[in-house]
Amino acid sequence: MLKKRIIPCLDIKDGRTVKGTNFVDLKDAGDAVELAKRYVEQGADELVFLDITATVERRKTLVRLVERIAEQINIPFTVGGGINSVDDAEAVIRAGADKVSINSAAVRRPELVAEIASGFGSQCVVVAIDTKFDGNRWQVYINGGRTPVELETLEWATTVERLGAGEILLTSMNNDGTREGFALDITGALSTTLNIPVIASGGAGRIEDFIDVFRQTEASAALAAGIFHFGILSIADLKHALHSHNIQIRMI
């Protein structure tokens, strides 16, 4: 059985790590390089870096910051935000990223998923899906959660898997920053339907939330930000707790 992964996320705005609730009310959470080093020491399995305003500001990802983080870590590193072409993907991979995450650009031009997969391999392509439940269905949002599009989440995930995505980063906007637990229903639907790994994101607040997502869904990994950034929970303590509940996890 593949071991479950714990992934801290660095949401970057103006070169600093930030964290909000439901994608708004952003608060400063510290220096990205220092946080990255801390998480490696604590035993993080991977790291995700998302330049959260690159798309809406119509600029490229902060490549120099990617380089600085990559120099300090030795775990797989995913970078997203402002990646709109194969050239953009190549730039962050050259800067030290192991994978690229695409979101809005994939919705606007789905062929980009296949192009990056063709150039660098499916294992390099993470499609991030920001989704919100509107009372009837889970709908896809783009532009940092600002713009709804006429795509149903499971249908879109199935499409990008067919195009060559190697992994899905699924963030529930309803749960994001609430610390009330992951969205188990949509995470379960994707993780049991798809044949590629699904990373659960949005809502982690307690150790029990990670236990629930790993026991009640087929999620391969769980991503969190605020609870790690603000010292509410350490990755080391989380991993020991998961191990004690017989969840397969990599220990250091």
Report which secondary-structure segment, H or E, holds 74.
none
Q: What is residue 230's predicted lDDT score, i.e. its pLDDT?
A: 85
Question: For the segment 158-171, what is each residue's pLDDT rounded down to a tens digit?
Answer: 999 999 999 999 99
Q: Which domains does the chain have, with CATH numbers?
A: 5-244 (3.20.20.70)
The verdict on whether 130 is a catalytic residue reads: yes
Q: What is residue 110's predicted lDDT score, i.e. its pLDDT?
A: 98
Question: For the segment 173-230, what is each residue's pLDDT rounded down to a tens digit?
Answer: 999 988 999 999 999 999 999 999 999 999 999 999 999 999 999 999 999 988 998 8
- Tell me the average pLDDT of the chain: 91
Query: Are 125 and 165 spatial neighbours (Cβ–Cβ below 8 Å)?
Result: yes
Q: From CA 105, how far away is CA 186, in angstroms rounded?
A: 22
Mean pLDDT of 141-148: 91
pLDDT(130) > 70: yes
Q: What is residue 229's predicted lDDT score, i.e. its pLDDT?
A: 86
Q: What is residue 55's predicted lDDT score, i.e. its pLDDT?
A: 52
Give SS3 for 122.
Answer: helix
Q: What is residue 81's predicted lDDT score, i.e. its pLDDT?
A: 87
Q: What is residue 60's predicted lDDT score, i.e. its pLDDT?
A: 60
Report which secondary-structure segment, H or E, holds 32.
helix 32-42
To 10 degrees, what angle do helices 63-70 and 32-42 make? Answer: 30
Q: Which of 11, 45, 88, 98 is catalytic?
A: 11
Question: For the segment 17-71, what is each residue's pLDDT rounded down to a tens digit?
Answer: 776 565 555 566 678 888 889 999 999 999 999 886 655 555 465 788 889 999 9
DSSP per-residue letters across 173-193: TTTTTT-S---HHHHHHHHHH
Q: From CA 80, how far away is CA 100, in angstroms rounded?
A: 6
With cut-offs at 50, 70 and 90, classify the pLDDT of residue 82. confident
pLDDT(237) > 90: yes
Q: Which of 98, 130, 176, 209 is catalytic?
A: 130
To 10 degrees, what angle do helices 184-193 and 207-216 make? Answer: 40
